[in-house]
Amino acid sequence: MLGEAFYNTFKEDYEVRASDIDVNDSWLTELDVRDYSAVRQEASEFRPDFIFNLAAYTDLEYCENNPNDTYITNTIGAENAALISQELGSTYVFISTAGVFDGGQETYNDYDIPAPLSVYGKSKYYAELSIKDGCHKYFIFRAGWMMGGGHKDKKFVHKIVKQLLEGKQKLHVVGDLKGSPTYTYDFAANAKEMISTQFYGLYNMTCEGGPSRYEVAAEMLKIFELQDKIELIEVKSDYFSEEYFAPRPNSEVLENLKLKSRNLDFMRDWVFSLKDYLEKDWNHKVKEEMP
């Protein structure tokens, strides 16, 4: 999801070498962040000014069931790239998450103390700590509820789209969890602006606003002009407790305090970003293929 947005955003102005363990596009080469030697060799040959680490397991249920694999990928993988960045003098760019917080507050700024609930959240928080300890030049950007990527989208927005394409007339959507939607292309564009500065450090970087899942789904139906055709039913998170058993914060709403203070917050209101995403990647498909 995010790699595609970064590649398309940076390729015109930077020489980009992009890799993944799943080589599903012509612009990708194979590389595994868990393999320190392979990453070091690749970086030593390319001599990058910036090393971006977008790799992570993000499925919370998978992470709960596979903690060792999660820590090796999300935490040690992040440490590997941080060590290599420090050795080569590259600036390290790491993507973290609002999931480092426990949800006890309404909103969280960049200085609030993390207390992650899930294995996923812990793996990302421990990665943040290792980067702060091991890197001199780094940017850590905390994202919220990621949206973007079209067919590569594995998150909430695509799950709603998938149900619509399957012909569902009733959608049950959680109303007691709030977060900050984060459009991949807005996120990549803001990151591009940030790395041209030397304001290193950790930043919250999400779209403006803190809707519930239910409110996001309602806005989607408006954009698709389906609000009078599809019944949207608000439920509590325990409605999906068997399927989504990993602990989730009640609030993952982030405030971009540091970005705003430096006049470098270019993240738009989540409604505008959601509209852009759906009209670009899904509107035609939904209108053409809905039963």
pLDDT, tens only, 139-149: 999 999 999 98
pLDDT at 290 over 80: no
Domain count, the chain: 1
pLDDT, tens only, 18-38: 999 988 888 889 999 999 999
pLDDT, tens only, 225-237: 988 899 999 999 8
pLDDT of residue 223: 93
- Mean pLDDT to the nearest integer, 159-180: 92
- Mean pLDDT to the nearest integer, 107-119: 97
| Residue range(s) defining the domain that contains residue 71 | 2-289
In the structure, what pLDDT confidence band is assigned to residue 1 with cuts at 50, 70 and 90? Answer: confident
Instruction: Report the DSSP pairing between strands 178-179 and 91-97.
Output: unpaired
What region does 103 belong to: left with phi over 0, alpha with psi -120 to 50, or beta? left
Q: Which residues contact 78 (CB under 8 A, 6 or more apart)?
A: 33, 53, 94, 127, 130, 131
Contact between 180 and 252 under an 8 Å Cβ cutoff? The reply is: yes
pLDDT at 12 over 70: yes
Gap between the Cα atoms of 151 and 157, Å rounded: 11
In the structure, what pLDDT confidence band is assigned to residue 291 with cuts at 50, 70 and 90? Answer: low
Of the listed ranges 18-22, 266-270, 272-276, the least confidently predicted one is 18-22
Q: What is the mean pLDDT of the chain?
A: 93
Residue with tokens 């564009």: 189
Identify the CATH number of the domain in which residue 79 sits: 3.40.50.720
